[in-house]
Structure 1
Amino acid sequence: MPRLLAFTLLLCVSLGAQADSYITRLLNKPVPGGVAVIDLGNATQPPKALYDGKPVLVVREQQTWRAIVGLPLTVKPGQQTLSVGGQARSFTVGSKQYPEQRITLKNTRQVNPNPADIKRIDAELAEQLRAYRSFSPGTPSNLLLDKPVNGPLSSKFGVRRFFNGEERNPHSGLDFAVPAGTPIKTPANGKVILVGNYFFNGNTVFVDHGQGFISMFCHMSKIDVKVGDNLTRGNVVGRVGATGRATGPHMHWNVSLNDARVDPAIFIGAFQP
């Protein structure tokens, strides 16, 4: 009996320590478009983790390594597998329903692009996907992110969008309703890895925070950085605008982990189940 009691106490302490993990409490929202935080143990060296064949952000919290796994909106609820050092580690993804949004655009080419537009869009998408898939070795300066601007949300992540009655890709970021010209600040340290003017996104900046943890800002009226710039948390990357496919000035912010666009609300403590 004493042995059983000791084992029970040890188990309770272990589960309590995991439940008390700050990173787990902050980020573990394992739903489509969310984040799964997975305990990887206390090895001396950081474990190598892959999800869907792509490298995953791994950070150390006290003596424990944790994988911060981005889950795309397309992931199916149920059992998923993380590869850790070649060994499979299972975790469970729950379900989440996202609302609909209907938008009317006067520029019909932004709904049904012509052949020349499509050629441009395809080239721009390939360029942006390369940026999303970059993986630098540095550890992010912070996981609890600052809001890039101070203002109310005008459109949430994951919303199913209908433009002029036709369904298109779900909303992949957060929109903040702020005036044109408002400074947009990087929510963590990072390096500028892509700057461009794109058909849908308008003036756009990608900032790499480390290990596939990437912020993207778009529809800007002005860009204040260039590729290769090293930014400190709070540095201005550009100004709010309405370039690209936008009905008015606002700040659109994407967060990507292991090439999965995830809900930025998770990282600012505003996630809603």
Structure 2
Amino acid sequence: MFFLFVFAKEGLSLSFLPEKPFPGTPVLVSLPTKAEKLIFLGKDFYAFAYQGKYYALVAVPLGVKPGTYTLKIYGEKITSTKIKIYPKKYPTEHLKVPPKMIHYPQEVIDRIKREVKAIKTTLSGFTPKPLFDGPFVWPAAGRLSSPFGFRRIYNDVPKSPHSGIDIAVPSGTPVKAANSGRVVLCGSFYLPGKILIIDHGLGIYTVYCHLSKILVKEGDFVDKGQKIALSGKSGRVTGPHLHFGVYVRGVKVDPKVLLEVF
């Protein structure tokens, strides 16, 4: 693993991955000393120790314009450095789904609003200590059928960019926890189908959707690699697959980048 080194004011050196972050990426920052917190793009992020070193995972939202932004580090003293965000063009994907999955009756709209609120509330939570155990792992092995950030158009109706990655696996494929943490939401929702969310601490969450069966319950602590569910095709889908999402301090980021950098 190669880190790009940068130098902050007052002589503090640090490094980060990926070397050229773009909108939608998690950025793993390697810190030379212990830090209380970091502030980047208006959000607070917190450091953790791993193998005797200090790191922090910060998030670049999809909507951020390319440019150079300040990262502040709060330790024994306040220091700062600049991180350049590079441009990235995300492709558009056209999908055909049953009309009932696009044009909803009012009772379905009300249900979707309640479920979206529940998910957002869950992902905005914060556990002030790391629950994860080292690097994250793939929740399932399969072809990446839909990358993060795709601008999806369902039956010619534009929708928001894809909030995770889709892993093409047959229904019933075991789904593993990408890291250790606590199960904070389980349910059967209209759009994501059977959904499971794990809190990994420090505002880091993983999301697993379109499951056929959930094998854990809310409140359970799970280990990295533990079987937590079976894949399926519940919710709004065109076929069986696992939707895998990652959120850092409420910001959706590319799971594939996280798996590559940490």
Bucket of the pairwise TM-score, normalised by the shorter protein: 0.7 to 0.9
Q: Identity, % of aligned pairs?
A: 33
Per the normalisation by structure 2, the TM-score is: 0.85
Relative to structure 1, the CA distance from residue 81 to residue 122 in structure 2 (aligned partners, 3 Å threshold; closer, same or farther) is: farther
Amino acid in structure 2 at the alignment position of 1:79: T
1:99 aligns with 2:88: no
**What pairs up with 1:1-273 in 2 under 5 angstroms?**
18=14, 24-25=16-17, 27=18, 29-38=20-29, 41-43=32-34, 46-60=35-49, 65-85=54-74, 89=80, 90-106=82-98, 108-269=99-260
- RMSD across aligned positions (CA): 2.6
Q: Which has the higher helix share?
A: 1
Which range is displaced more, 241-250 or 139-148?
139-148
Larger Rg: 1
Count of aligned residue pairs for this structure pair = 249
SS in 2 for 1:265: helix
Contact 1:81 1:88 in 2 (8 A): no
TM-superposed deviation, 1:28 = 5.2
Relative to structure 1, the CA distance from residue 29 to residue 58 in structure 2 (aligned partners, 3 Å threshold; closer, same or farther) is: farther
Amino acid in structure 2 at the alignment position of 1:60: A
Flag structure 2 segments of 5+ consecutive residues without an equivalent. 1-6
Contact 1:195 1:204 in 2 (8 A): yes
Q: Which has the higher strand share?
A: 2
Flag structure 1 segments of 5+ consecutive residues without an equivalent. 1-10
Relative to structure 1, the CA distance from residue 164 to residue 88 in structure 2 (aligned partners, 3 Å threshold; closer, same or farther) is: farther
TM-superposed deviation, 1:247 = 0.9
Contact 1:190 1:210 in 2 (8 A): yes
Contact 1:206 1:214 in 2 (8 A): yes
TM-superposed deviation, 1:189 = 0.6
SS in 2 for 1:220: strand
SS in 2 for 1:210: coil
SS in 1 for 2:160: coil
Contact 1:28 1:35 in 2 (8 A): no
Which range is displaced more, 56-65 or 154-163?
56-65
Amino acid in structure 2 at the alignment position of 1:76: K
Per the normalisation by structure 1, the TM-score is: 0.82
Give 1:5's aligned residue.
none
